[in-house]
Chains A and B, each alone.
Chain A
Amino acid sequence: DQQVKQNSPSLSVQEGRISILNCDYTNSMFDYFLWYKKYPAEGPTFLISISSIKDKNEDGRFTVFLNKSAKHLSLHIVPSQPGDSAVYFCAALAMTTDSWGKLQFGAGTQVVVTP
């Protein structure tokens, strides 16, 4: 039962333009969300996160938006740079005792930034 879904397996965007990555979740208990970035032959690295008490979090070129009623979050990258070409994973967490340690991931979106 996949609780975190990234329905776009790939995204191609021109350098300088905005990249928008989408993520949907089904578990209403999720209240903390993270994005990870993965280059080939490397492990995922943390990018940005958001708590359910917020609807937006910004860090430089990266902004995450959360729509709790729609169970949807998105990652915006502005402007996109060639070094942003990677796989991006959405992840979600329920901050409850029986969910300790259980970070649920989506299948990832491969982003390619073209010159």
Chain B
Amino acid sequence: ETGVTQTPRHLVMGMTNKKSLKCEQHLGHNAMYWYKQSAKKPLELMFVYNFKEQTENNSVPSRFSPECPNSSHLFLHLHTLQPEDSALYLCASSQDPVGTGANEKLFFGSGTQLSVL
């Protein structure tokens, strides 16, 4: 148990569907992240939030829309996805954004395995 909970664990959706991924952290952290992991590829940073404010959008297509209502919750809203978007989507949190010199560890959730048909 890492203190970061993601739901759902598995999601199958059609290209015209709208769905949302949810992440909640119970660690009192200030920074939250979305990563994408495709098979045999590096984890790819998508979005970074610090104190609810988005600080990084790594050229992610607009069909992925993040939302961070507070420091404990992070959502990823999905609409009109493509089959190549099928991947494991991982949420993570850290005390402060990594690289600030405080604590560079990310704590990951178990991920949502997404399949787009």
Contacts and interface: CB of A to CB of B under 8 A. Distances in A.
Interface residues of B, number: 32
A104 B104 CA distance: 12
B117 interface: no
A87 to B, nearest CB: 10
25 contacts: A9-B40, A32-B99, A32-B104, A34-B104, A41-B110, A43-B4, A43-B111, A44-B43, A45-B2, A46-B106, A49-B104, A93-B98, A93-B99, A94-B99, A96-B99, A100-B97, A101-B48, A101-B56, A101-B98, A101-B99, A102-B56, A103-B99, A105-B42, A106-B42, A107-B41
Interface of A: 2, 4, 9, 32, 34, 36, 41-46, 49, 89, 93-96, 99-108
